[in-house]
Amino acid sequence: MRDGIDAALEVVHRTGPEYGPGASNHAPMAIEAMTAMGRGGGIIPWLEAYRAALDDAPRSVAPIVRGEWREALGDAARAADWVAFFDREIAELGWRAVVALWVPRLAPALISRAAHGLIRTAHAVRSLSHVETAPRLHELAQGLGYWASTWQTLPGDPTGVDAMRSPSEAIRSVRRLHTPGFVNQGLIWQTMLRMREQPDFADTVNLAAPDHNVSAFLSDLTETAAHWYMSDRTVPFVFVHTVTAPSALRFVTPYLSDADARLAACYAWQACAAMYAWFMLEEPNWVDDPDAELPEQEELIDRAIYAAGPHAIKFTEACLREYELNPNPVYLRAAYDAPERIGDG
Alpha-carbon distance of 55 to 27, in angstroms, equals 12
Cβ-contact 277, 270 below 8 angstroms: no
45's torsion region: left (phi>0), alpha (psi -120 to 50) or beta? alpha
pLDDT of residue 238: 97
Give the pLDDT of the chain (345 residues) as one tens digit per residue: 456 999 999 999 999 999 999 999 999 999 999 999 999 999 999 999 999 999 999 999 999 999 999 999 999 999 999 999 999 999 999 999 999 999 999 999 999 999 999 999 999 999 999 999 999 999 999 999 999 999 999 999 998 655 678 999 999 999 999 999 998 889 999 999 999 999 999 999 999 999 889 999 999 999 999 999 999 989 999 999 999 999 999 999 999 999 999 999 999 999 999 999 999 999 998 877 767 789 999 999 999 999 999 999 999 999 999 999 999 999 999 999 999 999 888
**What tens digit of pLDDT does each residue of 63-77 get?**
999 999 999 999 999
Cβ-contact 17, 79 below 8 angstroms: yes
Cβ-contact 268, 221 below 8 angstroms: yes
Tell which residue, 154, 176, 160, 143, has the closest CA to residue 110.
154
pLDDT of residue 343: 85
Mean pLDDT value across the chain: 95
H or E element, residue 326: none
